[in-house]
């Protein structure tokens, strides 16, 4: 991966790599958040070699990463865990599930592992899964991006599908982008109880059951935001942190969070405090070095496990 003269990520031009970037890998193809046309997703995670694919002329970006996934600082995580454990009757929470089956004739193109499970694009998300499991098996993974439209929802959805594939893990996909929710449209359902509203209710009644969507053919549970929700509503950070701990007690091995963009809001900082790691999606020829650095500075470099470059 190189930068063009404007500091944007892309290919075909020479330029100095970003600081802390390491080895090069081979490119694979992927899908973007609702844009027309084929794209390429470059998976960037630390230290693990990427297998060769059938297009050796494409080069994947060097990775932004570290030798291991940085976990939650002990003080903050301990405080959150104690708060969750102090709830009356700290047994695992009750989860109410509403089954939903994807329509066979109207599958969203962003569901790459469903649309074409044998494609190189699908393989890229399985490689991302492999890298994450190799560097610490993070339980709570926040997927964000510096700005809107960088492919974070596609990355979050397909990472969750890859983690849950063939029933290999119990996975919950959570949506926290209150102002621009996408998951209801991706999976073609209206959540019976909006996740943002559930957070507000559980702040006052923490032992209430949770209500999620179960998609059996994908081995996936989804906690989505109702697209009709008041867009001025803010995510409750402390309630989210306690909810994550409670949901871990429910047996979810991985909680993948489709978060808002980093820049211009403190929402992702609140989520990162309750998460094990953060992955940033970048859009080739759009995301800039400056925005990436600003996003990492805002979150804290120790939280960022790596990047996924979505190539238009």
Task: State how far the Cα of 64 lies from the Cα of 44, in Å rounded to an integer.
Answer: 7
Q: Which of 149, 198, 207 is nearest to 176 (CA)?
A: 198
Locate the domains of the chain by residue range: 2-311
Q: Is the pTM of this model over 0.85?
A: no
Task: State how far the Cα of 232 lies from the Cα of 260, in Å rounded to an integer.
Answer: 14
- Of residues 30 and 134, the one with the higher pLDDT is 134
- Of residues 55 and 148, the one with the higher pLDDT is 148
In the predicted structure, residue 233 carries a pLDDT above the cut 80: no
Task: Please check whether residue 281 is in contact with residue 206, taking contact to mean a CB–CB distance below 8 angstroms.
Answer: no
Task: State how far the Cα of 47 lies from the Cα of 132, in Å rounded to an integer.
Answer: 11
Element (H, E) at 98: strand 95-99
- Of residues 57 and 87, the one with the higher pLDDT is 87
Task: State how far the Cα of 53 lies from the Cα of 182, in Å rounded to an integer.
Answer: 31
Q: How far is CA 107 from CA 4, 102, 123, 187, 276, in A?
A: 35, 7, 19, 8, 31
In the predicted structure, residue 46 carries a pLDDT above the cut 70: no
CATH, range 2-311: 3.40.50.300
pLDDT score, position 182:
94
Residue 56 DSSP code: T
Residue 226 DSSP code: -
């Amino acid at each position: 991966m190189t930068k063009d003269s404007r500091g944007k990520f892309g290919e075909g031009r020479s330029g100095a790599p970003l600081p802390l970037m390491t080895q090069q890998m081979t490119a694979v193809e992927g899908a973007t958040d609702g844009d027309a046309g084929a794209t390429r997703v470059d998976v960037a995670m630390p230290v693990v070699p990427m297998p060769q694919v059938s297009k050796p002329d494409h080069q994947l970006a060097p990775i932004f990463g570290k030798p291991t996934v940085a976990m939650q600082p002990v003080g903050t995580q301990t405080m959150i865990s104690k708060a969750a454990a102090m709830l009356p009757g700290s047994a695992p929470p009750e989860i109410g599930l509403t089954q939903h089956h994807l329509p066979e004739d109207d599958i969203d193109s962003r569901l790459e592992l469903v649309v074409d499970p044998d494609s190189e694009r699908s393989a890229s998300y399985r490689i991302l899964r492999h890298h994450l499991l190799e560097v610490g098996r993070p339980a709570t993974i926040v997927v964000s991006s510096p700005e809107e439209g960088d492919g974070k929802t596609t990355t979050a959805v397909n990472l969750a599908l890859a983690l849950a594939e063939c029933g290999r893990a119990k996975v919950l996909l959570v949506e926290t982008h209150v102002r621009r929710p996408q998951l209801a449209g991706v999976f073609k359902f209206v959540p019976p109880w909006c996740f943002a509203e559930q957070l507000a209710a559980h702040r006052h009644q923490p032992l209430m059951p949770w209500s999620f969507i179960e998609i059996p053919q994908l081995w996936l549970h989804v906690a989505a935001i109702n697209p009709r929700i008041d867009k001025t509503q803010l995510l409750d950070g402390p309630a989210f942190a306690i909810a994550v701990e409670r949901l871990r007690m429910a047996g979810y091995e991985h909680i993948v969070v489709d978060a808002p963009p980093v820049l211009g809001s403190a929402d992702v900082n609140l989520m990162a405090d309750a998460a094990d790691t953060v992955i940033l999606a970048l859009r080739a020829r759009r995301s800039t070095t400056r925005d990436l650095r600003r996003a990492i500075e805002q979150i804290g470099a120790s939280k960022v496990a790596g990047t996924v470059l979505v190539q238009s």
